[in-house]
Amino acid sequence: MSEIKQRIDAVRRRIEEAAARAGRKPSSVQLVAVSKRQSAQAIREAYACGLRDFGENYVQELMSKAQELEDLPELRWHLIGHLQTNKAKPVARLAHYVHTIDNERIAAELSNRAKQEHQQVGAYVEINIAQEPQKSGCLPLEAAALVERVRTTPNLVFVGLMTVGKLVDSPEAARETFVRLRQLRDIVAPGAALSMGMSADFEVAIEEGATCVRVGTAIFGERG
């Protein structure tokens, strides 16, 4: 059994256990394998283990891997890194989901490019829930207006809210961030998805309502 398969099996068990603690079905949690700086071969191996959703941070890397892996028919790409307007065209063509819509300008540009490419792009609104100046994401007070804009923008399909948690010493310390995003979701977009939680804290995120977790190191090991 390969190391990647062992790690995937372990992550799936942890998702099942966290979902059970929250009284949820494991199937309610989408696992996105963060493949940033991982080889195409590693992605193929994870795909062979049943994973279909892969997250990339950088548009150039997404473009290269999408070309190399175009023979995998069920592979779904998630852009989870910051998106600039000048990179919207290839993202609209290649990405099934964008997790980092944080202003109306990028929503409009992605919409225009998706229309040109005859694509529908699943869109998460990124929230800087901790209001950290070094991070992307709209402020919580701006969330309702941006969600409404995304909902009404052609060729974008609003999915939910996303956040990147604070860098903390323990998974438990991240819980407050996830609680706050869930509470905001319940106000501005009841029932919408929640993309939150990474390798270090995805179990806590699931306990607090995450419907999508973005897991890299726990699947692929340390990045090269």
Give the CATH number of the domain where residue 88 resides: 3.20.20.10
pLDDT(215) > 60: yes
Instruction: Write down the residue that tokens 């929230």 correspond to.
Output: 127
Decide: 215 and 223 in contact? Cβ < 8 Å: no
- 4-42 b/e with 16+ CB inside 10 Å = b? beebbeebbebbbebbeebebeeeebbbbbbbbebeeeb
Domain range for 150 is: 3-220
Quote the pTM value. Answer: 0.96
pLDDT(18) > 90: yes
Total number of domains constituting the chain: 1
Task: State the pairing for strand pair 212-215/30-34.
Answer: parallel
| Phi, psi dihedrals of residue 32, rounded to the nearest 5° | -105, 120
Question: Cα dihedral angle (166, 61, 56, 158), rounded to 10 degrees?
Answer: 110
What are 164-182's pLDDT values in tens digits? 987 788 999 999 999 999 9
